[in-house]
Structure 1
Protein backbone atom coordinates (compact mmCIF):
# COMPACT_ATOMS: atom_id res chain seq x y z
CA UNK A 1 0.00 0.00 0.00
CA UNK A 2 2.76 2.45 0.95
CA UNK A 3 4.74 1.42 -2.13
CA UNK A 4 1.69 2.12 -4.33
CA UNK A 5 1.40 5.58 -2.76
CA UNK A 6 5.10 6.24 -3.40
CA UNK A 7 4.67 5.12 -7.02
CA UNK A 8 1.77 7.54 -7.40
CA UNK A 9 3.85 10.36 -5.90
CA UNK A 10 6.72 9.55 -8.26
CA UNK A 11 4.36 9.72 -11.22
CA UNK A 12 3.12 13.10 -10.01
CA UNK A 13 6.47 14.71 -9.20
CA UNK A 14 8.98 13.00 -11.51
CA UNK A 15 9.71 14.67 -14.82
CA UNK A 16 11.13 12.22 -17.33
CA UNK A 17 14.20 13.67 -19.04
CA UNK A 18 14.02 14.03 -22.82
CA UNK A 19 17.30 12.31 -23.79
CA UNK A 20 16.18 12.39 -27.44
CA UNK A 21 19.65 11.97 -28.95
CA UNK A 22 20.49 9.09 -26.64
CA UNK A 23 17.20 7.33 -27.36
CA UNK A 24 17.76 7.75 -31.11
CA UNK A 25 21.25 6.26 -30.86
CA UNK A 26 19.87 3.31 -28.89
CA UNK A 27 17.20 2.71 -31.57
CA UNK A 28 19.81 2.80 -34.32
CA UNK A 29 22.15 0.37 -32.56
CA UNK A 30 19.24 -1.92 -31.69
CA UNK A 31 18.09 -1.93 -35.30
CA UNK A 32 21.59 -2.78 -36.56
CA UNK A 33 21.93 -5.60 -34.04
CA UNK A 34 18.53 -7.12 -34.79
CA UNK A 35 19.12 -7.12 -38.54
CA UNK A 36 22.15 -9.35 -38.09
CA UNK A 37 20.55 -11.86 -35.70
CA UNK A 38 18.53 -15.00 -36.04
CA UNK A 39 15.16 -15.37 -34.27
CA UNK A 40 16.57 -16.99 -31.10
CA UNK A 41 19.19 -14.27 -30.61
CA UNK A 42 16.58 -11.52 -31.19
CA UNK A 43 14.38 -13.14 -28.54
CA UNK A 44 17.29 -13.16 -26.07
CA UNK A 45 18.14 -9.54 -26.86
CA UNK A 46 14.53 -8.46 -26.28
CA UNK A 47 14.47 -10.36 -22.97
CA UNK A 48 17.68 -8.58 -21.95
CA UNK A 49 16.18 -5.20 -22.87
CA UNK A 50 13.02 -5.98 -20.87
CA UNK A 51 15.03 -7.00 -17.81
CA UNK A 52 17.17 -3.86 -18.01
CA UNK A 53 14.05 -1.74 -18.26
CA UNK A 54 12.57 -3.47 -15.21
CA UNK A 55 15.82 -2.91 -13.32
CA UNK A 56 15.83 0.80 -14.26
CA UNK A 57 12.26 1.13 -12.98
CA UNK A 58 13.19 -0.48 -9.66
CA UNK A 59 16.28 1.73 -9.28
CA UNK A 60 14.25 4.82 -10.18
CA UNK A 61 11.64 4.02 -7.54
CA UNK A 62 14.32 3.29 -4.94
CA UNK A 63 16.01 6.60 -5.76
CA UNK A 64 12.70 8.46 -5.49
CA UNK A 65 12.01 6.79 -2.12
CA UNK A 66 15.44 7.80 -0.85
CA UNK A 67 14.89 11.39 -1.95
CA UNK A 68 11.45 11.41 -0.39
CA UNK A 69 12.79 10.08 2.91
CA UNK A 70 15.55 12.69 2.86
CA UNK A 71 13.06 15.49 2.19
CA UNK A 72 10.74 14.15 4.88
CA UNK A 73 13.60 14.04 7.40
CA UNK A 74 14.63 17.59 6.57
CA UNK A 75 11.08 18.91 6.99
CA UNK A 76 10.80 17.09 10.32
CA UNK A 77 14.04 18.67 11.52
CA UNK A 78 12.90 22.11 10.40
CA UNK A 79 9.45 21.65 11.86
CA UNK A 80 7.83 22.81 8.63
CA UNK A 81 4.65 20.85 7.86
CA UNK A 82 4.07 19.93 4.22
CA UNK A 83 0.70 20.75 2.72
CA UNK A 84 -0.21 19.08 -0.56
CA UNK A 85 -3.01 21.58 -1.12
CA UNK A 86 -0.71 24.58 -0.68
CA UNK A 87 1.84 22.96 -3.00
CA UNK A 88 -0.81 22.30 -5.67
CA UNK A 89 -2.14 25.86 -5.41
CA UNK A 90 1.40 27.20 -5.83
CA UNK A 91 2.03 24.97 -8.85
CA UNK A 92 -1.30 25.98 -10.46
CA UNK A 93 -0.52 29.65 -9.84
CA UNK A 94 2.91 29.30 -11.47
CA UNK A 95 1.40 27.54 -14.50
CA UNK A 96 -1.22 30.25 -14.86
CA UNK A 97 1.44 32.96 -14.65
CA UNK A 98 3.48 31.19 -17.38
CA UNK A 99 0.43 30.91 -19.63
CA UNK A 100 -0.56 34.53 -19.14
CA UNK A 101 3.05 35.65 -19.60
CA UNK A 102 3.46 33.68 -22.84
CA UNK A 103 0.28 35.19 -24.31
CA UNK A 104 1.22 38.75 -23.49
Structure 2
Protein backbone atom coordinates (compact mmCIF):
# COMPACT_ATOMS: atom_id res chain seq x y z
CA UNK A 1 0.00 0.00 0.00
CA UNK A 2 2.98 2.29 0.60
CA UNK A 3 3.82 2.39 -3.11
CA UNK A 4 0.26 3.36 -4.01
CA UNK A 5 0.19 6.14 -1.42
CA UNK A 6 3.59 7.37 -2.63
CA UNK A 7 2.27 7.48 -6.21
CA UNK A 8 -0.83 9.39 -5.11
CA UNK A 9 1.37 11.79 -3.14
CA UNK A 10 3.59 12.45 -6.16
CA UNK A 11 0.49 12.98 -8.30
CA UNK A 12 -1.12 15.57 -6.04
CA UNK A 13 1.78 17.28 -4.27
CA UNK A 14 3.64 19.95 -6.17
CA UNK A 15 6.85 21.29 -4.64
CA UNK A 16 6.53 25.05 -4.23
CA UNK A 17 9.17 26.88 -6.23
CA UNK A 18 10.41 30.40 -5.75
CA UNK A 19 8.96 30.98 -2.30
CA UNK A 20 10.52 33.79 -0.26
CA UNK A 21 12.03 31.22 2.09
CA UNK A 22 13.56 29.25 -0.78
CA UNK A 23 15.04 32.42 -2.27
CA UNK A 24 16.53 33.41 1.11
CA UNK A 25 18.01 29.96 1.61
CA UNK A 26 19.56 30.02 -1.86
CA UNK A 27 20.96 33.55 -1.39
CA UNK A 28 22.41 32.66 2.01
CA UNK A 29 23.87 29.46 0.61
CA UNK A 30 25.59 31.36 -2.22
CA UNK A 31 26.98 33.89 0.26
CA UNK A 32 28.20 31.17 2.61
CA UNK A 33 30.01 29.09 -0.01
CA UNK A 34 32.11 32.07 -1.09
CA UNK A 35 33.69 32.08 2.38
CA UNK A 36 34.26 28.34 2.76
CA UNK A 37 36.92 25.90 1.68
CA UNK A 38 36.02 23.12 -0.75
CA UNK A 39 35.75 20.58 2.09
CA UNK A 40 33.48 22.89 4.08
CA UNK A 41 31.31 23.51 1.00
CA UNK A 42 30.85 19.75 0.64
CA UNK A 43 29.83 19.56 4.28
CA UNK A 44 27.28 22.35 3.80
CA UNK A 45 25.88 20.58 0.73
CA UNK A 46 25.52 17.33 2.70
CA UNK A 47 23.69 19.22 5.45
CA UNK A 48 21.36 20.81 2.89
CA UNK A 49 20.73 17.44 1.21
CA UNK A 50 19.94 15.83 4.57
CA UNK A 51 17.62 18.72 5.48
CA UNK A 52 15.83 18.39 2.13
CA UNK A 53 15.44 14.63 2.61
CA UNK A 54 14.06 15.15 6.11
CA UNK A 55 11.54 17.69 4.80
CA UNK A 56 10.48 15.29 2.02
CA UNK A 57 10.09 12.43 4.50
CA UNK A 58 7.98 14.57 6.85
CA UNK A 59 5.82 15.81 3.97
CA UNK A 60 5.20 12.28 2.69
CA UNK A 61 4.44 11.00 6.19
CA UNK A 62 1.99 13.85 6.75
CA UNK A 63 0.25 13.13 3.44
CA UNK A 64 -0.03 9.40 4.16
CA UNK A 65 -1.36 10.05 7.67
CA UNK A 66 -3.96 12.48 6.33
CA UNK A 67 -4.95 10.08 3.56
CA UNK A 68 -5.34 7.20 6.02
CA UNK A 69 -7.47 9.38 8.29
CA UNK A 70 -9.68 10.37 5.36
CA UNK A 71 -9.94 6.72 4.30
CA UNK A 72 -11.00 5.65 7.82
CA UNK A 73 -13.54 8.46 8.05
CA UNK A 74 -15.00 7.55 4.67
CA UNK A 75 -15.25 3.89 5.69
CA UNK A 76 -16.82 4.81 9.02
CA UNK A 77 -19.37 7.08 7.36
CA UNK A 78 -20.11 4.42 4.75
CA UNK A 79 -20.61 1.82 7.50
CA UNK A 80 -22.73 4.26 9.48
CA UNK A 81 -24.97 4.84 6.45
CA UNK A 82 -25.42 1.08 6.00
CA UNK A 83 -26.37 0.67 9.66
CA UNK A 84 -28.95 3.46 9.35
CA UNK A 85 -30.54 2.06 6.17
CA UNK A 86 -32.58 -0.79 7.79
CA UNK A 87 -34.05 1.59 10.36
CA UNK A 88 -35.18 3.95 7.63
CA UNK A 89 -36.92 1.17 5.70
CA UNK A 90 -39.21 0.24 8.60
Instruction: Structure 1: state its 5+ residue gaps.
Output: 81-104
TM value normalised by structure 1: 0.69
In 1, the alpha carbon distance for the partners of 2:38 and 2:46 equals 12
1:16 Cα deviation after fit: 3.1
Look at both structures and tell me which one has the larger radius of gyration over its CA atoms: 2
List structure 1 runs of 4+ shifted beyond 4 angstroms. Answer: none
Task: After TM superposition, list the pairs within 5 Å mapping 1:3-82 onto structure 2.
Answer: 3-18=2-17, 20-79=19-78
Aligned-pair Cα RMSD in Å: 1.6
How many residue pairs are counted as aligned between the two chains?
A: 79
Instruction: Structure 2: state its 5+ residue gaps.
Output: 80-90
1:54 Cα deviation after fit: 1.0
TM value normalised by structure 2: 0.79
